[in-house]
Chains A and B, each alone.
Chain A
Amino acid sequence: MKILAIGLTAFVLVAVVAPHSRAAAPARVSAHGFALTSLTVELPFDETQYPDGPGADVINANCTACHSASMALTQPALTRDQWSAIVSKMADTYKAPIDRHDMPAIVAYLTAMSARLPGAKGPAPRTSNEATTG
């Protein structure tokens, strides 16, 4: 708390002496010629929604809390079974708060999205969907 007290004192002095100056410099820790400086950032927000189509409102309501739409929109053409396994994994493994009644509509939306991809062929070879991450 000593550091905090010093920081407050410094702030008060700055406020009195130079009310329009910028806030105190961020905290800094250093030793043996290397310094670390406190960091505050803001991450950009994502306005991208799933494009219009049957079920778009459902997928936008269920699937944007944890990740951007781009996660799904960048996927290659996947089969209904693959999308179904992925949506189930999101709910069961990653605890996504998806309304169970909405799952068929979400899978249908994603399957239709895959079918619209240029060059989308027939069913791809079945692939297991274990924890795919990285």
Chain B
Amino acid sequence: MDPLNLALASGSTRRRFLERAVVGGVAFAASPVVAQSLVDLHLPGDPSQRSMTSAFPGKGSMILQRTRPPLLETPMAVFDKDVFTPNDQFFVRWHWADIPTSIDVAAFRLAIHGAVNRSLSLSLAELLSLPRVEMAAINQCSGNSRGFFQPRIPGAQWGHGAMGNARWLGVRLRDVLDLAGVKPGAVAVRFNGLDQPVVPDAPDFEKSLDIDHARDGEVMIAFGMNDQQLPLLNGFPIRLIVPGWYSTYWVKMLSDIEVLTAPDDHFWMAKAYKVPATPGADVVPGGKDFPTVPISKMVPRSWVTNLPEGGQVAFGPAIAVGGIAMGGDTGVKQVEVSVDGGQTWHPTALGPDHGKYSFRRWDAHVALAQRGPIPVMSRCASSAGVIQPMRPIWNPGGFMRGNVETTNIVVG
């Protein structure tokens, strides 16, 4: 297909999607979550099965981890279709159940206040009029893959699908801060969204970034996600984009930006989402006496996506193995695959480069010596030279998993 036809085809797909979104997106009737089918996350222990659901607004078929507040996981097969995750299958994670279900774009305001020369209350029309930037970036939950930690760790028992990659359209946070004028002495910027705790005195969900990070020109306020407005459950109308950093900082339904003159001592920065200040955030299971720091940059990861766990594959001289990789806070240099438990590694061909914060497709044909059970592994090296380790880490939060993952297949 030539580039023009390709553009036309994708444009027509986009229009169809828009029409569906308009018809189905204006109002949804409340209905109970009904299990449509079960999926096995292949966690190391029960309960490993989850229901599939399509009951959530703006969302197609998702793995149901929790209805209220919603925790919805993306099935791995979705990642095999494209390096960009469709909005209607992009994972969902909320901390508190008081989530606004109606957003009036004419009335919505983003407040900027604190250590600034001029406090602002920006309308969406004003935000849409600022200089635009677009960036492909992976949004991954700090606890993605927590269900695979051993010993097991309490918390959301995610498989690998608490992540997604999108083209984010929006404005630079720096430009918005400059409109307000950051005062000398500012050290951090705190972000709050419209979601609220359901009980009095509970800690509202807020996160902060150091002032230099907030003003680095990469951190964005996004109103577009893969050419569409964001689904409400992904933070409509605007959310923070912190490329290369875990999703906990990507505050949804962003409504309040406060410039601070002292480090953020509120709960979600001072107490939650802390990781050991050890190499790889790794400690001996059960260990307690270690210093901690707020979680920050992501680490390299990769997954086989074309073969399901436990899948049966017909024997042949070679099998096609393909998947996705990420460099973490930088790009992907290379991905290798192994079918012998990590003894030997084979090169793969990388797909198009959509920028260092995006998923990167990789594919290979790997020779098979015999029939039987085969562990298929992939190993990413980031452009900074960081290579995924074989050994899993452990920490009490179940954060930052990044080891080589295995997909077990049976060749017969």
List residues of A whose CB falls within 8 A of some B CB.
3, 26-32, 34-48, 65-68, 70-71, 73-78, 82, 86, 93-97, 117-119, 124-134
| Cα separation A47 to B35 with both chains bound (whole Å) | 12
| Cα separation A45 to B67 with both chains bound (whole Å) | 7
The reply to whether B67 and A29 contact each other, CB–CB distance below 8 Å, is: no
Given contacts A42-B30, A66-B199, A125-B151, contact A131 B271 (CB under 8 A): yes
Produce 1/0 per residue, B91-118, CB < 8 A to A: 0010111010111111000000000000
| Cα separation A116 to B69 with both chains bound (whole Å) | 26
| Cα separation A9 to B26 with both chains bound (whole Å) | 22
Inside 8 A of A32's CB, which chain B residues have their CB?
128-129, 132
Minimum CB–CB distance from A9 to chain B (whole Å) comes to 15
| Cα separation A40 to B29 with both chains bound (whole Å) | 10
Is there a chain A Cβ closer than 8 Å to B409's Cβ?
no
A-B contact pairs, 11 of them (CB 8 A): A27-B104, A36-B237, A39-B26, A40-B102, A45-B68, A95-B197, A125-B286, A127-B153, A130-B271, A130-B397, A132-B155
The reply to whether A70 and B64 contact each other, CB–CB distance below 8 Å, is: yes
| Cα separation A101 to B128 with both chains bound (whole Å) | 53
Minimum CB–CB distance from B142 to chain A (whole Å) comes to 4
The reply to whether B202 and A94 contact each other, CB–CB distance below 8 Å, is: yes
Is there a chain A Cβ closer than 8 Å to B243's Cβ?
no
Inside 8 A of A76's CB, which chain B residues have their CB?
43, 45-47, 147, 152, 154, 157
Minimum CB–CB distance from A12 to chain B (whole Å) comes to 19
Interface of B is mostly: loop
Inside 8 A of B66's CB, which chain A residues have their CB?
67-68, 70-71, 74
Inside 8 A of A134's CB, which chain B residues have their CB?
93, 141-144, 146, 155-156, 246, 248, 273, 397-399
The residue in chain A whose Cβ has the minimal distance to the Cβ of B53 is A44
Inside 8 A of A34's CB, which chain B residues have their CB?
128, 169, 223-224
| Cα separation A27 to B102 with both chains bound (whole Å) | 12
| Cα separation A47 to B272 with both chains bound (whole Å) | 30
Inside 8 A of A45's CB, which chain B residues have their CB?
30-33, 67-68
Given contacts A27-B105, A38-B103, contact A66 B397 (CB under 8 A): no
| Cα separation A130 to B32 with both chains bound (whole Å) | 33
The reply to whether A38 and B105 contact each other, CB–CB distance below 8 Å, is: yes
List residues of B whose CB falls within 8 A of some A CB.
22, 25-33, 43, 45-47, 50, 53, 55-58, 64-70, 93, 95-97, 99, 101-106, 123-125, 128-129, 132, 141-144, 146-147, 151-157, 169, 197-203, 223-224, 229, 232, 236-237, 246, 248, 267, 271-274, 285-286, 288, 396-399
Given contacts A67-B68, A71-B66, A74-B157, contact A39 B128 (CB under 8 A): no
Inside 8 A of B147's CB, which chain A residues have their CB?
76
Q: Which of B65, B97, B151 has a CB less than 8 Å from the CB of A124?
A: B151
| Cα separation A131 to B395 with both chains bound (whole Å) | 12
Q: Which of A26, A43, A119, A130 has a CB less than 8 Å from the CB of B274?
A: A130
Inside 8 A of B237's CB, which chain A residues have their CB?
36, 39
The reply to whether B46 and A42 contact each other, CB–CB distance below 8 Å, is: no
Q: Which of A36, A42, A129 has a CB less than 8 Å from the CB of B396?
A: A129
The residue in chain B whose Cβ has the minimal distance to the Cβ of A64 is B68
| Cα separation A71 to B129 with both chains bound (whole Å) | 42
The reply to whether A41 and B58 contact each other, CB–CB distance below 8 Å, is: yes
Minimum CB–CB distance from B13 to chain A (whole Å) comes to 18
| Cα separation A134 to B397 with both chains bound (whole Å) | 8
Given contacts A27-B104, A27-B106, A95-B202, contact A75 B125 (CB under 8 A): no
Closest 8 CB pairs of A and B: A134-B143, A41-B57, A46-B67, A134-B142, A31-B128, A76-B152, A131-B272, A42-B30
| Cα separation A47 to B57 with both chains bound (whole Å) | 18
| Cα separation A93 to B106 with both chains bound (whole Å) | 36
The reply to whether A44 and B55 contact each other, CB–CB distance below 8 Å, is: yes
The reply to whether B198 and A70 contact each other, CB–CB distance below 8 Å, is: no
The residue in chain B whose Cβ has the minimal distance to the Cβ of A118 is B46
| Cα separation A131 to B32 with both chains bound (whole Å) | 30
| Cα separation A117 to B50 with both chains bound (whole Å) | 15
Given contacts A78-B154, A82-B154, A132-B155, contact A46 B101 (CB under 8 A): no
